[in-house]
Chains A and B, each alone.
Chain A
Amino acid sequence: MVEPREIHINCMATDIANSQTVQGQPIVIGEPRWVRVALISVTLLFLGIFLFLPLIVVFTEAFKKGVEVYFQSIREPDAVSAIQLTLIAAGIAVPLNLIFGVAAAWAIAKFQFPGKSFLITLIDLPFSVSPVISGLVYVLLFGLQGWLGPWLGEHDIKIIFAVPGIVLATIFVTFPFVARELIPLMQSQGSEEEEAARVLGAGGWQTFWRVTLPNIKWGLLYGVILCNARAMGEFGAVSVVSGHIRGMTNTLPLHAEILYNEYNSAAAFAVASLLTILTLVTIALKAAIDWKSQVEAREVRAIREQALAEA
């Protein structure tokens, strides 16, 4: 009757045996203490240099010339328009990619059709392509010497070296994020609940809103957060299509680059610090979602075990 408890005990037992001293009990199967301390130290040294130190450096460099200069650099008109452009690019790319991600995941996870793995590989493409190439393909298509170049020139439509190009490049490098989160998630959840809803008479949209969406909410949020982080921080692809026109086609990362190349280090790092804050928020949200979804999974498991126990 009390099966779950036995399992729980075994897990605890092996956890304790494998991980740490608990209440002064020695580790039975594990590395001796000095080995553990040494390994932890080496790891912390390595991670300290590569993870913690950069964070410290960004902010110390940003405030090197004092707080006044810091805020000046951020309030300066070119910086402000860079912020605006970054927000526009992300503001368009993320929702579009969200819709794409949901649509692609729905098609792939709930249906069977040939060529599925090819489609998935295609979706993974931007991850295996250098950002520079991602930008390059748009220059080739829309640039002056590109395919559509002459036609665009005639109609005085500027895509490359203008905002639309930047948005397009941003979309290209970030579209997989939501899809990649949702596809395995929805595949593992199967179609049973949706089919049950349909049999009970729910329409297509209703099924999606009421049944699918709640199940994928954490994965969706996760994908959106990562998508946004990349969209706002993208450098290589945007650099190629932007033309670096100050005050017009510079996103925040590009603006930081220009400042840095002009030896205006403090200003460059001030801009960089904004992006770093965004990154830290992203990481915090990601960790929070991880934790939340783990808690939920544990609750579901406990309920299931309880039900089995009472059966």
Chain B
Amino acid sequence: MSIEIHNISKTFGDFAALKDVSFKVETGELVALLGPSGSGKTSLLRIIAGIEVPDVNDGAILIHDEDTTSISFRDRRVGFVFQHYALFRHMTIFENVAFGLRVRPRRLRPSERVIKERVNELLKLVQLDWLGDRLPSQLSGGQRQRIALARALAVEPNVLLLDEPFGSLDAKVRKELRQWLRRFHDDLKITSVFVTHDQEEALEVADRVVLMNEGRVEQVGTPEEVYHHPANAFVYNFLGNVNLFHSRVEEGKVYLGELPIELPAESAPDAKSALVFVRPHLLEIEHQRNGGDNFHAKVTHINAAGPLVKVDLMTDWGAPVHVELSHGRYSSLGLKREDEVFVRPKERRVFVKAETGDESRSQSTHSGPRA
């Protein structure tokens, strides 16, 4: 069951939550809608579910090639898992999961026996079959989330939608459930879309990621694609750590302090102000100047507790720099606080966003590795 989103817009009063959004989710895919708060991702999810209606225009949502605006909830067969689970607190877990089956019109309703079988099957699937008689208040957050999932699956939906499924859980539970969800999806293969603001989660779990910002789709791609080949400055900045430098473009070069970086000729008009993005692990630290392809900085803080060593420095022009080094490199450098060092952008993969006048144009420019 594929989901096609065509030109969906949504305004609340003066506020445009979604601006002409289009993309496609293939059958059996697990797609993440990723973006900061206010990006419109939850609104989009709710529109797909049918809980909200988009602005009336030529836009449409097609599930399995059928336009959904004319389909009722019952026939739509969309499963929705709410951020705060929305379990019916006066019903037992069993009754919660059985709800969708019990409210079916008489001719479509399975017998009590069949319902019982199906519910127990689902509870086993989410590994909570021993909780059937409890009330939601007696369950932990992670357990409630899995029950919410089981409940949504009980009516055999074509499409599964999850709104920040792990948002209300603490870090460790979140990590576990994340992996669980991935394995779960691999077994069931239902077309699924989930909303998150946690980029680590999206990159780890999803088949493809849809990055959204301010109601627009910024990029759609696999986690590798969006991380290593970001389409614009927003994506680059949103995913992973990044250093941000204020700079300017002059004669086809962008300056990090006094260090000029060549930019491909065709994409670099002069700009009074530009933003330069560099990932922390793409910066090299050296004790000597060694040819001048670097800029001077002073070490302000070192954090060696972790898989990488994180070094904070301050440049001569007052910009903070964050560099990540391997432990091997760190020990061979013998770095200490207050050390004066030189920082060189490795591979020159630099992302420039120039702000000329009122517009901020993103230039996807980068210079390749030095020979």
Interface residues of A (CB under 8 A from B): 1-3, 5-6, 9-10, 12-13, 16-17, 25-26, 28-29
CB-based nearest A residue for B41: A6
B53 proximity list for chain A (CB < 8 A) = 25-26, 28
User: With contacts A3-B37, A16-B52, A29-B51 known, what are 6 further pairs, Cβ within 8 A?
Assistant: A1-B37, A9-B12, A13-B12, A13-B43, A13-B46, A13-B52
Which residue, of B17, B38, B53, has the highest number of chain A Cβ atoms within 10 A?
Answer: B38
B37 proximity list for chain A (CB < 8 A) = 1-3, 5-6
- Interchain CB contact (< 8 A) of B52 among A1, A3, A6, A28: A28
B42, A6: Cβ atoms under 8 Å? yes
A17, B38: Cβ atoms under 8 Å? no
Which residue, of B12, B36, B43, B46, has the highest number of chain A Cβ atoms within 10 A?
Answer: B12
B51, A5: Cβ atoms under 8 Å? no
A9, B36: Cβ atoms under 8 Å? no
Q: What is the CA–CA distance of A2 and B12 in the complex, to the nearest angstrom? A: 17
User: Chain B nearest CB: distance from A86 CB in Å?
Assistant: 48
User: Chain A nearest CB: distance from B34 CB in Å?
Assistant: 14
- Interchain CB contact (< 8 A) of A5 among B13, B38, B46: B38
Residue B50 lies at the interface, judged by CB distance under 8 Å to chain A: yes
Bin chain B's interface residue count. 10 to 19
Chain B residues numbered 31-47 whose CB sits less than 8 Å from any CB in chain A: 36-38, 42-43, 46
CB-based nearest B residue for A15: B12
B17 proximity list for chain A (CB < 8 A) = 9
Which residue, of A2, A10, A28, has the highest number of chain B Cβ atoms within 10 A?
Answer: A28
Pairs across A and B, CB under 8 Å, 14 listed: A2-B36, A2-B38, A3-B37, A5-B38, A6-B38, A9-B15, A9-B38, A9-B43, A12-B13, A13-B43, A13-B46, A16-B52, A25-B53, A26-B53
Count, A-B residue pairs, CB within 8 A? 35
B36, A1: Cβ atoms under 8 Å? yes
Q: What is the CA–CA distance of A59 and B51 in the complex, to the nearest angstrom? A: 50
- Interchain CB contact (< 8 A) of A28 among B12, B13, B36, B50: B50
A9, B42: Cβ atoms under 8 Å? yes
CB-based nearest A residue for B55: A25
Interface string of B1-37 (1 = CB under 8 A from A): 0000000000011010100000000000000000011
B42 proximity list for chain A (CB < 8 A) = 6, 9-10
User: Chain B nearest CB: distance from A305 CB in Å?
Assistant: 12
B12 proximity list for chain A (CB < 8 A) = 9, 12-13, 16
Q: What is the CA–CA distance of A132 and B40 in the complex, to the nearest angstrom? A: 62
CB-based nearest A residue for B163: A10
A3 proximity list for chain B (CB < 8 A) = 37
B36 proximity list for chain A (CB < 8 A) = 1-2
A16 proximity list for chain B (CB < 8 A) = 12, 52
User: Chain A nearest CB: distance from B177 CB in Å?
Assistant: 21
What are the 4 closest A-B residue pairs judged by CB atoms, nearest first? A6-B37, A5-B38, A2-B38, A2-B37
CB-based nearest B residue for A16: B12
CB-based nearest B residue for A7: B37
A10 proximity list for chain B (CB < 8 A) = 42
A29 proximity list for chain B (CB < 8 A) = 51
Q: What is the CA–CA distance of A25 and B17 in the complex, to the nearest angstrom? A: 16
Q: What is the CA–CA distance of A25 and B52 in the complex, to the nearest angstrom? A: 10
B43, A17: Cβ atoms under 8 Å? no
Q: What is the CA–CA distance of A266 and B95 in the complex, to the nearest angstrom? A: 62
User: Chain A nearest CB: distance from B351 CB in Å?
Assistant: 21
B43 proximity list for chain A (CB < 8 A) = 9, 13
A28 proximity list for chain B (CB < 8 A) = 50-53
Q: What is the CA–CA distance of A25 and B56 in the complex, to the nearest angstrom? A: 9
Q: What is the CA–CA distance of A248 and B53 in the complex, to the nearest angstrom? A: 69
A13 proximity list for chain B (CB < 8 A) = 12, 43, 46, 52
User: Chain B nearest CB: distance from A77 CB in Å?
Assistant: 61
CB-based nearest A residue for B17: A9
Interface string of B120-161 (1 = CB under 8 A from A): 000000000000000000000000000000000000000000
B50 proximity list for chain A (CB < 8 A) = 28
Chain B residues numbered 51-102 whose CB sits less than 8 Å from any CB in chain A: 51-53
Q: What is the CA–CA distance of A10 and B45 in the complex, to the nearest angstrom? A: 12
B51, A17: Cβ atoms under 8 Å? yes
B38 proximity list for chain A (CB < 8 A) = 2, 5-6, 9
Q: What is the CA–CA distance of A9 and B15 in the complex, to the nearest angstrom? A: 9
A5 proximity list for chain B (CB < 8 A) = 37-38
B13 proximity list for chain A (CB < 8 A) = 12
Chain B residues numbered 294-315 whose CB sits less than 8 Å from any CB in chain A: none
Q: What is the CA–CA distance of A164 and B42 in the complex, to the nearest angstrom? A: 66
User: Chain B nearest CB: distance from A6 CB in Å?
Assistant: 3
Q: What is the CA–CA distance of A231 and B280 in the complex, to the nearest angstrom? A: 73
Q: What is the CA–CA distance of A28 and B54 in the complex, to the nearest angstrom? A: 11
Q: What is the CA–CA distance of A1 and B238 in the complex, to the nearest angstrom? A: 12
Q: What is the CA–CA distance of A26 and B43 in the complex, to the nearest angstrom? A: 16
CB-based nearest B residue for A10: B42
User: Chain B nearest CB: distance from A137 CB in Å?
Assistant: 42
A6 proximity list for chain B (CB < 8 A) = 37-38, 42
